[in-house]
Amino acid sequence: MSSFEIPKHTRAIFEEIVTRAGGQLEDHYQARRAGLLAEAEAAIRQKGMMAPVALIQQEVQSRIGDGTDPVIYRNALIARFALDLPQTVAALSLPASALALYPDLARRLAETIPAEFPDYEADSLARDVAHVFGFFIPGAAMDIDRFGRLDPRMIASAAVRCRQLTAPARYVWGGMWRPFLEFHTDSRHLTGFNPAGFHATYLQVADMLRCNPALAGLFISSWFHDPIAAEISPRLAYLQGVPRAGGAFFIRNNTGELHVKRATATSATRRQLVADGKYVPTCYTMIWPRKKLIAWADGINKGRRDAGGLAAPAVAPSGAMSLASDAHFHRPSLKSTPWPLQKGLKRGEKPAVAGAMPDQLAPEMPA
């Protein structure tokens, strides 16, 4: 079984964090490691990524009573799981493209845990716990959740509310009730959030799908998959264009305060459009079936072999667009977007930038 080695300096940091909790932690860890991992896996499958944190907190509370600081004990327990991450990863049968990213993940964890004493922001805590438990896999651009599942209610809603009548058929014929890999954005680590980073991560996902035939593919739900977002911010068009060119399809979900907050966090243009009532960020789910994604990756790899075995593109600085894979990018256009089924708008009439139209359709993609 393949794994990785934690760099010596990083291991020393974890060990120092563990020693802060005293000798009782090691006995506790050895007694509960297997059971806690099994309980946490069941929890994340049923309730999502925040659930394992509650189990960690329960473990901490069960051991506090002798004056030990609960924050120190909690973070030491996380660091102890991090020390055994090579053992955890070895059981996952991950491809080399994923294993190569673990030394950097370990370094980031070693920097994060002591840096966040005493406060550990809830979302960051949940992500770090998911990583040390082996539930999240590092990617160049995004975290990869091993236990993603599509909600069938979302598929039904797309058919009824958004008139995407092919969505249920794709769900059934594509075997999409099976587990998926799911992308999650970690706002602390965005250096790979660029075309090169996503390109490398898609290839990594294809490798992971080959290693696990039970997985149905990849999905991610986000405001940046809204076709209108690419019109407003063309630099984000690659987030839709690459998967679309490779056979992914998109389902319109809904809008809401969270999507508005995220879409306007880093863009004055989007903030102004929202303030003017001309744009309401809307969440779309990108679904890339395994056969389509693997076929896309095979095509990329064949192209490299034909070109003389060129290496995968390095992760470029954020926003970089000069890549060998630029030919796969596609900027969607409102001209090709199905017309909104809204009173007063004639067929073929192009709306203003108004992603909030209740019946705005997602572009239909090849199955």
For residue range 64-119, list pLDDT tens digits in order.
Answer: 776 778 999 999 999 999 999 999 999 999 999 999 999 999 999 999 998 777 77
Contact 271, 347 (CB under 8 A): no
196 and 143 within one domain? yes
State how many domains the chain has.
2
Does residue 244 or residue 326 have the better pLDDT? Answer: 244
Q: Extract long-range pairs of 37-40: CB within 8 Å, 24+ residues apart.
A: 37/88, 37/133, 37/134, 40/129, 40/133, 40/135
Q: Which of 136, 162, 183 is the last residue of a domain?
A: 136
Better-scored residue on pLDDT, 306 or 227: 227
Location of structure tokens 């992971």: 208
* Confidence at residue 253, expressed as pLDDT on a 0 to 100 scale: 84
129 and 207 co-located in one domain: no
Q: Find out whether 135 and 105 touch, Cβ atoms under 8 Å.
A: no
The amino acid that residue 169 corresponds to is: A
With a cut of 50, say whether residue 128 has pLDDT above it: yes
Q: In the structure encoding, which two tokens stand for residue 96, read together?
A: 């080399």
pLDDT at residue 351 tops 90: no
Give the total residue count for the chain.
Answer: 367
pLDDT for the residue 332: 34
Rounded CA-CA distance 156/164 in Å is 9
Mean pLDDT check: name the lowest of 16-25, 133-142, 152-161, 187-196: 152-161
- Confidence band, pLDDT 50/70/90 cuts, at residue 269: very high
Nearest to 85 by CA among 97, 63, 103: 103
At residue 152, the pLDDT reads 60
Domain end among 103, 136, 169: 136
Binned at pLDDT 50, 70 and 90, residue 161 comes out as: low
Candidates 324, 331, 278; CA nearest to 303 is 324
**Residues 54 and 149 both lie in one domain:** no
Are 204 and 98 a contacting pair, CB within 8 Å? yes
**112 and 223: one domain?**
no
pLDDT top residue among 12 and 256: 12
Residues 223 and 79 in one domain: no
Mean of the per-residue pLDDT values of the chain: 81
Say if residues 135 and 52 touch (Cβ distance below 8 Å): yes
Percent of the chain with pLDDT over 70: 76
Q: How confident is the model at residue 252 (pLDDT cuts 50, 70, 90)?
A: confident
100 shares a domain with 46: yes
347 in the same domain as 296: yes
298 and 340 belong to one structural domain = yes
Say whether both 229 and 86 belong to one domain: no
Same domain, 313 and 197: yes
Distance in angstroms (rounded) separating the CA atoms of residues 3 and 90: 5
What's the pTM? 0.80
Residue 214 confidence (pLDDT) above 50: yes
Predicted pLDDT at 45:
93
Contact, 70 vs 117, CB < 8 A? Answer: no
- Domain range for 212 is 139-367
Residue bearing the bigger pLDDT, 351 or 7 = 7
pLDDT over 90, % of the chain: 62
The pLDDT, as a whole number, for residue 256 is 84
How far is residue 88's CA from residue 314's CA, in Å, rounded to a whole number? Answer: 27
Pick the residue with more confidence: 158 or 222? 222
Determine the Cα–Cα distance for residues 38 and 44; give it in Å rounded to an integer: 10
What pLDDT is stored for residue 133 in this prediction? 98
> What pairs with residue 250 in β-bridges?
286
Of 89, 116, 136, the domain-final residue:
136
pLDDT in tens, 292-332: 999 999 999 998 888 876 544 444 333 333 222 222 323 33
**In this structure, are 188 and 311 located in the same domain?**
yes
d(CA 10, CA 1): 23
256 and 181 within one domain: yes
